[in-house]
Amino acid sequence: DTEVTQTPKHLVMGMTNKKSLKCEQHMGHRAMYWYKQKAKKPPELMFVYSYEKLSINESVPSRFSPECPNSSLLNLHLHALQPEDSALYLCASSPRLGGSTYNEQFFGPGTRLTVL
C-alpha cells in the first residue's frame, strides 16, 4: 500500500458538535502531519508527529486535538469549531522527520470540512 488515506471525504458539523478526522498509512512512515488548506492557498502546517510523539504544534487552537494511536494512524479531534475553520484538512506522511535526503512527504486526499 503506497497511499495515505483519509476519512471522511466530507464533513459538515455544527459549532457545538464533536467529530474526528482519521488518517491512515501503511508505508512504514514514522512522521505524520496535519495541514489545513483554505481555497487558493498553500497547505498550512498544524501538527507533526514523529514516532507517535507530538513534535510540532504550530500554535493551533485547542479546539483541534491531534492523536497518534499507533505508527499507522493519525486522528484529529474537533470540538467547538468556528465557521472560519471550514477548510480542506490534509494528512501527510514521510519516512521520518528532518532534512535528510529521500524524505519525501506524501499527502492524503483530504477531508472537506464545513462548519455551520
How crowded is residue 23: how many other Cβ atoms within 10 Å of its Cβ?
26
Length of the chain measured in residues: 116
Q: Indicate whether 113 belongs to the interface with other proteins (CB under 8 A).
A: no
Give the binding range for other proteins (CB under 8 A) out of 11-19, 63-71, 73-81, 98-106: 98-106
Task: Say which residue the cell 503506497 belongs to.
Answer: 2
Asked if omega into 8 is within 30° of 0 (cis), the reply is: yes
Nearer to other proteins, 17 or 55 (CB): 55
Nearest 10 degrees: CA dihedral of 87, 93, 97, 102?
-120
Q: Indicate whether 83 belongs to the interface with other proteins (CB under 8 A).
A: no
Q: Indicate whether 76 belongs to the interface with other proteins (CB under 8 A).
A: no
Q: Indicate whether 110 belongs to the interface with other proteins (CB under 8 A).
A: yes
Give the binding range for other proteins (CB under 8 A) out of 12-20, 22-30, 67-75, 94-102: 94-102
